[in-house]
Amino acid sequence: DTAVSQTPKYLVTQMGNDKSIKCEQNLGHDTMYWYKQDSKKFLKIMFSYNNKELIINETVPNRFSPKSPDKAHLNLHINSLELGDSAVYFCASSQGQGPTDTQYFGPGTRLTVL
């Protein structure tokens, strides 16, 4: 049983479109995250939710909107996609927010904007 799952695994779309990536965790964790791995391979945090509340919102364009319908799900909606949004997006979850709360990552969603 996959602990953190993401759908879709691959997403190819045109500039200007709106798309969503879904994330689900079955670990019973309270905290969920979205990270972006850019072309330089750095993994950078975008958002973090704890018990459905937004707690970290890094400098991300407001075209990106996370939504947490419940503790087990954190979806990422992207409006008006741009070429620079092409990246691999990883969802993660952890029990708490502290450094010793191990973050478990999903397999990633590779987004390609044409």
**Of how many residues is the chain composed?**
114
**Looking at residue 83, what DSSP letter applies?**
G
The nearer residue to another protein, 43 or 114, going by C-beta atoms, is: 43
CB of 97 to another protein, least distance (A): 4
The nearer residue to another protein, 80 or 102, going by C-beta atoms, is: 102
Residues in 13-72 at the binding interface with another protein, rule: CB under 8 A: 31, 33, 35, 40-45, 48, 55-56, 58
**Looking at residue 9, what DSSP letter applies?**
S
The nearer residue to another protein, 44 or 67, going by C-beta atoms, is: 44
Instruction: Report the 10 Å Cβ neighbour count for 94.
Output: 21
Across 3-114, where does the E strand assignment appear?
4-7, 10-13, 19-25, 31-37, 43-50, 53-57, 64-70, 73-78, 87-94, 104-105, 109-113
d(CA 40, CA 42): 6
Residues in 80-99 at the binding interface with another protein, rule: CB under 8 A: 90, 92, 97-99
Residue 103 found at the interface with another protein (CB under 8 A) = yes
The size of the interface with another protein (CB under 8 A), counted in residues, is 27
Which positions lie near another protein, rule CB under 8 A?
Answer: 4, 31, 33, 35, 40-45, 48, 55-56, 58, 90, 92, 97-100, 102-108
